[in-house]
C-alpha cells in the first residue's frame, strides 16, 4: 500500500543529505572496491564534498574520484568545468544502487555509464563489488545489450579499424590507417578485452583520451580510464560473463527508506532521452510490493526528471492504517526463563571454497576489425 505524502520526505532527505555530505568531506572516497556486507546489500559508496584548489578542473576531479566527467558536471551546475576556481565546494557523487539482476561477472549499465564487476566469493564467504565509470556508444553506434562474455585479452593491443569507422573518419577529414599499432596514439589504450558480441568486434578497453570517459562517444565499445582498465584487466579470466543492460532508474529499500537513483535513459539509437514517468511508476510499484509506504510522488518525479544520478530518499515505510494495532503480549503469555525448552545447537554449515579463477592468458586469435 502507498500512502501519499507531500511534505515530510523532502525535509528528511535534505537533512540526511546535508549530514552525509558533511561527514563525507573529511573522508577519502578514491577506492572503487566495496565490500558487500550482506548478501542482499543494495547500496555501496558514499556522496561527499571537496573544496577545490586553484589548479583543479572537474575533469581531473572526476578521474581522481572514479567518476565520468558528466557525472560530476551534472551535480555541480553553473561551475566552469575547466576553471572552477579555488575554494569552491563541489558535490562528489559516489553512492550507487547496485543494478538489478545476477551479481556475477561484469555488468555494464549504459544509462549510468558505469561498469560493475563482481569477483567470485572469497574463501571466508565474503563478497565485494568493484565499479568504474565508462564511455559507451554514440548515436548510430549503440553499445549492444544482452549477455555476452570475454573471449580474448590483449595487452598493448593493435587496432584494426573496420571500414565503416575509416569512412567516418575520412569524411571528417581525419583519415585512419588500416592498422594502428600499440602506443600513445592507439585509442584502445594499453589493455583490451574482446567480447563475443558482434562476432568479436566489441571491446572493453582503455583510451588515449581519458577526458571523454563517461560520455557516449565510442563506436560501441566500452572505454575505461587507463588506470582503471589496468586494475581490472588482471582480475578478469577469459570466459567471464558480461551483461550489458539499460536501466535508467534504480530503486532500493534500505533501513525503511525508499531510495531512487535516476539517469538519462538511452534509446535504441544510443541517444540519451527524457525519463519516462510511466516507467518510474512501474518500477516504484514493483519496489514497494506489499510494503506500506509514504511516498512523495511530486518529489520523486522531480528527482526522475532531474536524472543526475544522485540517490534521493523518496519514501518511508509506514504503518498500515487499515489494520488494527498489534496487541502487546500479556505477562501470562510469556514463558518464564527457567521453563524455556532447551534447543540443540546447530553447527554452521561449512562455506565451500571458491573455485580457482581461470588463467589470465590471452586467447590467440587472428586480427579482427574492431570498433572503439
How far apart CA 134 and CA 232 sit, in angstroms, is 12
**3-class SS at 321?**
coil
C-alpha 94/C-alpha 67 separation (Å) is: 8
* Set of cell numbers at residue 307: 536524472
Distance in angstroms between the alpha carbons of the first and the last residue of the chain: 47
Compute φ and ψ for 104, nearest 5 degrees: -150, 145
**Residues 42-45: contacts with CB within 8 Å, 24+ apart?**
42/97, 42/98, 42/252, 42/253, 42/254, 43/95, 43/96, 43/97, 43/98, 43/252, 43/254, 43/259, 43/311, 44/95, 44/96, 44/98, 44/129, 44/131, 45/94, 45/95, 45/96, 45/131
Packing angle, helices 297-306 and 8-24, rounded to 10: 50
Catalytic position from the list 96, 113, 219, 221: 221
Beta bridge partners of 286: none
Among 113, 205, 219, 263, the one annotated catalytic? 205
Q: Cα–Cα distances in Å, from 53 out to 56, 58, 251?
A: 6, 11, 35
For residue 245, give the 3-state DSSP assignment.
strand
> How far is the C-alpha of 229 from the C-alpha of 155, rounded, in Å?
11
Q: Is 113 a catalytic residue?
A: no
Contact 153, 362 (CB under 8 A): yes
Q: Nearest Cα to 36, choosing from 98, 109, 89, 108? A: 98
| Cα 332 from chain centre | 53
* 28 flagged as catalytic: no
Q: Could you give the angle at the alpha carbon of 16 between the alpha carbons of 302 and 289, nearest 5°?
A: 60
Q: What span, in angstroms and rounded, lies between the C-alpha atoms of 182 and 204? A: 16
Active-site residues: which are they? Answer: 205, 221
Amino acid at each position: 500500500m502507498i500512502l501519499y505524502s507531500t511534505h515530510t520526505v523532502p525535509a528528511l532527505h535534505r537533512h540526511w543529505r546535508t549530514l552525509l555530505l558533511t561527514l563525507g568531506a573529511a573522508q577519502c572516497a578514491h577506492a572503487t572496491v566495496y565490500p558487500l556486507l550482506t548478501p542482499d546489500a543494495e547500496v555501496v559508496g558514499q556522496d561527499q564534498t571537496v573544496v577545490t584548489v586553484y589548479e583543479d578542473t572537474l575533469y581531473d576531479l572526476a578521474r581522481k574520484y572514479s567518476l565520468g566527467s558528466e557525472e560530476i558536471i551534472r551535480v555541480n551546475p553553473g561551475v566552469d568545468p575547466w576553471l572552477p576556481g579555488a575554494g569552491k565546494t563541489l558535490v562528489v557523487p559516489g553512492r550507487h544502487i547496485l543494478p538489478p539482476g545476477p551479481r556475477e561477472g561484469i555488468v555494464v549499465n549504459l544509462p549510468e555509464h558505469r561498469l560493475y564487476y563482481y569477483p567470485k566469493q572469497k574463501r571466508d564467504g565474503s563478497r565485494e563489488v568493484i565499479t568504474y565509470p565508462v564511455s559507451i556508444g554514440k548515436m548510430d553506434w549503440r553499445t549492444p545489450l544482452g549477455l555476452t562474455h570475454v573471449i580474448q585479452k590483449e595487452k598493448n593491443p593493435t587496432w584494426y579499424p573496420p571500414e565503416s569507422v575509416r569512412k567516418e573518419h575520412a569524411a571528417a577529414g581525419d583519415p585512419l590507417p588500416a592498422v594502428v599499432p600499440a602506443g600513445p596514439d592507439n585509442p584502445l589504450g594499453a589493455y583490451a578485452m574482446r567480447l563475443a558480441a558482434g562476432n568479436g568486434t566489441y571491446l572493453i578497453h582503455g583510451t588515449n583520451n581519458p577526458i571523454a570517459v563517461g560520455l557516449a562517444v565510442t563506436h560501441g565499445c566500452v572505454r575505461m580510464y587507463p588506470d582503471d582498465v589496468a586494475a581490472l584487466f588482471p582480475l578478469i579470466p577469459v570466459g567471464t560473463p558480461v551483461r550489458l543492460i539499460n536501466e535508467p532508474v534504480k530503486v532500493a529499500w534500505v533501513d525503511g527508506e525508499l531510495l531512487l537513483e535516476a539517469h538519462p535513459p538511452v534509446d535504441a539509437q544510443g541517444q540519451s532521452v527524457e525519463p519516462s514517468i510511466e516507467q518510474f511508476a512501474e518500477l516504484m510499484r514493483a519496489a514497494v510490493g506489499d510494503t506500506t509506504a509514504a511516498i512523495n510522488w511530486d518529489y520523486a518525479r522531480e528527482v526522475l526528471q532531474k536524472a543526475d544520478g544522485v540517490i534521493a530518499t523518496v519514501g518511508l515505510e509506514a504503518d498500515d492504517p487499515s489494520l488494527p494495532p498489534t496487541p502487546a503480549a500479556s505477562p501470562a503469555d510469556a514463558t518464564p526463563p527457567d521453563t524455556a525448552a532447551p534447543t540443540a545447537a546447530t553447527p554452521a554449515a561449512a562455506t565451500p571454497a571458491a573455485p580457482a579463477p581461470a588463467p589470465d592468458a590471452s586467447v590467440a586469435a587472428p586480427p579482427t576489425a574492431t570498433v572503439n
